[in-house]
Structure 1
Amino acid sequence: MAMTDTEFHQLADDMFQIIESAIESAIDEQDADVDIDASGGVLQLEFEDGSKIVINKQEPLHQIWVATKFGGYHFAYESGQWLDNRSDAGEFMPFVQQSIARQSGINISF
């Protein structure tokens, strides 16, 4: 059965909240400098060096897109997990964790 828009938004919003909480913990624990802007289906993380990671919901496709300074990635919900369907980035949450560490040196945990 296809995912409804409501289900998509709930799943995506839950992940956005988990990421925000993990970043806020890293800010406290590691004295990290990260600006978090969450609005309109977009979660934008700006790091001390000015680089950004932008995570946004693509409602018509029921996908989550991630833009890092290393490239763009598209994740679709399959078999109970968000998987990259354009490259070999794998599962969404580990990818975001690795991307934040790679781009900013900040280690987060979920």
Structure 2
Amino acid sequence: MNTTEFHTLADELFNAIEEGINESGADIEYETTGNVLTLEFEDRSQIVINRQEPMKEIWLASKTGGYHFQFNGSEWICSRSGREFTTMVKEECSLHAGEAVEW
């Protein structure tokens, strides 16, 4: 994947997260600054999602740790656990929000 393709996929991913949060009705604030999407919760905890252009990865930092995701041609997969990105984001949001967050 070239840099343009990476940024297109990352833009789609960030937009999907923002739309999902809006649909969920959960009390989660979000802000994108440059290559970083920050999700902030009522208790002031955060999830930070950022693009790592040199490695063509998406990184997620949360209460439970840091995770690196690589695109396998159809979805972003965690290099450590093999889990899919959106599933993990929803689980992490639920953990931070103290309630089920689904979209």
Residues 70-99 of structure 1, C-alpha deviations (whole Å, 9 max, x = no match): 1000001124221111x2151111111111
Are 1:62 and 1:76, in contact at CA under 8 Å, matched by a contact in 2? yes
TM alignment of 1:1-110, pairs within 5 A: 3-27=1-25, 32-85=26-79, 87-88=80-81, 90-104=83-97, 105-109=99-103
- TM-score normalised by the chain length of structure 2: 0.91
The offset of 1:68, in angstroms, is: 0.5
Deviation beyond 2 Å, 4+ runs, structure 1? none
Counterpart contact for 1:73–1:84, Cα < 8 Å: yes
Higher radius of gyration, 1 or 2 = 1
CA-CA distance at 1:48 after TM superposition: 0.1
- Gaps spanning 5+ residues in structure 2: where? none
Q: TM-score, normalised by structure 1?
A: 0.86
**AA paired with 2:54?**
P
Give RMSD over aligned pairs.
1.3
Contact 1:26 1:106 in 2 (8 A): no
Aligned-pair identity (%)? 42
Unaligned stretches of 5+ residues in structure 1: none
